[in-house]
């Protein structure tokens, strides 16, 4: 049980970290402070290192402090605006099945990504293994619900316009592939990063010399998507607004990260997720997520409910309950909704809802292989203490009867052959 829960927590924290929305309009400018933000965009040499709890090597580093004299506040400053991993999207066939692949990498060797088959099946992650030794050998692992290993991808060279290699599955069979970079019906994008750091931690701990920082990621559309007038609202604000937002949201008693990650980028639908992760000095980590769905043709923001038939709530609750019971059957979890004083017909989990505390939001998200629901442990477990959020996936084939005809989601599944 412990191993599974640890694995689930690791998967959840390792998913996308997207930003809780920051104010659209800046407050009046504060007093001037040292500002080293460059107007040019520079690549991050190791974005994975920049995401860990310690300060990134690309971020301002605190000067040595004589602890006998107490900790001195560090200057408040901005990093230069940087580009995180470069994202590339490929389509083609593997084993005569159409697939979509999205890779991100920071040259020369930090390649990671995911892929899925158009006609259904699990979504696979690529390269997310800290123990791997060969840069162009990417471990393959299934996503929800079991995270099982599925062999390796062995790439012929660093990906470019063509992605060529062989998938060696767990039985040793080799499946060669050659995929091409393609953004038809999709958005080309990158992740930009800006960080503010400095000050003195607001803690009661004597000689606590940790330096607070706020790391903010931005989704930046490129190519045709970046020029689309209807998608202009998705673009990051100006540098002046970004700097002011970081000033307004700075938490001097915490190291905080706002992240963003794409989860579905296909058939004119873009689903992405923002995340919040605060590591307060002297307190418990505080996570949160929020998902977005955009029609890439019209630029409209879509809700999950708008893609489903009227009256979807009860059948969807039944699907979610069945998957929770199945996917977590190897744990000793006692479910909150299964109470002796409730009639059998009410032994169903509720639909995900925003948690009372804004930092622990529940979520619905469209991915390459289905509808993903994330629950706060306080909503599903009788004894939630120390439990990670519970995430379940409803494959599109199971969700299909609940999808409203004529919607962008219905058109995507028809084009993929999922009926």
First to last CA, the chain: 36
pLDDT of residue 206 exceeding 70, the answer is no
For residue 339, with 0-12 CB atoms within 10 Å meaning exposed, 13-18 middle and 19 or more buried, which class applies? exposed
Say which residue, 39 or 269, is predicted with more confidence: 269
- State how far the Cα of 163 lies from the Cα of 156, in Å rounded to an integer: 8
**pLDDT above 50 for 180:** yes
Confidence of residue 30 (pLDDT cuts 50, 70, 90): very low
Sign of CA dihedral 329, 335, 340, 344: negative
43 contacts 106 by C-beta, under 8 angstroms = yes
Question: How many percent of the chain have pLDDT more than 90?
Answer: 58
Q: Which residue has the higher pLDDT, 155 or 58?
A: 155
Q: Do residues 164 and 136 touch, judged by C-beta distance below 8 A? A: no
Question: How high is the mean pLDDT of the chain?
Answer: 82
pLDDT tens, position by position, 2-11: 444 444 444 4
Mean pLDDT, residues 85-102 taken together: 95
140/128 Cα distance (integer angstroms): 8
The average pLDDT across 222-229 equals 96
Mean pLDDT for the stretch of residues 367-376: 94
262 vs 128, higher pLDDT: 262
The whole-number pLDDT of residue 68 equals 44
CA 195 distance to own-chain centroid: 19
């Amino acid at each position: 049980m412990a191993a599974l829960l640890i694995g689930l927590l690791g998967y959840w924290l390792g998913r996308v970290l997207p930003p809780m929305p920051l104010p659209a309009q800046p407050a009046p400018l504060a007093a001037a402070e040292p500002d080293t933000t460059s107007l040019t965009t520079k690549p991050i040499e190791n974005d994975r290192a920049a995401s860990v709890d310690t300060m990134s090597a690309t971020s301002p580093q605190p000067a040595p402090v004589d602890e006998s004299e107490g900790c001195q506040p560090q200057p408040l400053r901005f990093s230069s605006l940087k580009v995180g991993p470069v994202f590339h999207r490929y389509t083609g066939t593997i084993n005569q099945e159409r697939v979509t692949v999205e890779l991100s990498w920071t040259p020369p060797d930090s390649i990671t990504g995911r892929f899925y088959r158009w006609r259904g099946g699990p979504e696979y992650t690529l390269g997310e293994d800290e123990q791997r030794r060969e840069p162009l050998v990417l471990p393959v692992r299934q996503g929800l619900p079991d995270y099982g290993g599925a062999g390796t991808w062995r790439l012929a060279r660093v990906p470019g316009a063509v992605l060529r290699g062989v998938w060696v599955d767990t039985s040793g069979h080799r499946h060669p592939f050659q995929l091409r970079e393609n953004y038809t019906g999709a958005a080309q994008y990158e992740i930009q990063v800006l960080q503010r750091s400095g000050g003195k931690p607001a803690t009661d701990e004597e000689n606590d010399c940790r330096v607070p920082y706020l790391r903010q990621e931005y989704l930046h559309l490129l190519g045709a998507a970046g020029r689309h007038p209807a998608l202009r609202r998705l673009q990051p604000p100006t540098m002046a607004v970004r700097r002011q937002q970081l000033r307004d949201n700075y938490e001097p008693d915490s190291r905080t990260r706002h992240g963003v990650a794409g989860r579905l980028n296909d058939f004119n639908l873009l689903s992405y997720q923002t995340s919040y992760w605060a590591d307060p000095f002297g307190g418990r980590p505080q996570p949160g997520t929020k998902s977005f769905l955009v029609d890439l043709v019209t630029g409209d923001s879509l809700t999950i409910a708008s893609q489903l038939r009227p009256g979807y709530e009860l059948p969807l609750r039944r699907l979610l309950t069945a998957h929770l019971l199945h996917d977590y059957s190897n744990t000793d979890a006692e479910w909150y909704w299964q109470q002796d004083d409730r009639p059998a017909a009410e032994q169903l989990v509720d639909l995900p809802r925003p948690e009372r505390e804004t930092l622990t939001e529940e979520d619905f998200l469209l991915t390459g292989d289905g509808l993903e629901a994330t629950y706060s442990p306080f909503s599903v477990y009788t004894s939630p203490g120390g439990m990670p959020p519970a995430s379940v996936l409803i494959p599109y084939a199971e969700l299909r009867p609940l999808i409203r005809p004529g919607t962008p989601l219905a058109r995507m599944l028809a084009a993929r052959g999922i009926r």
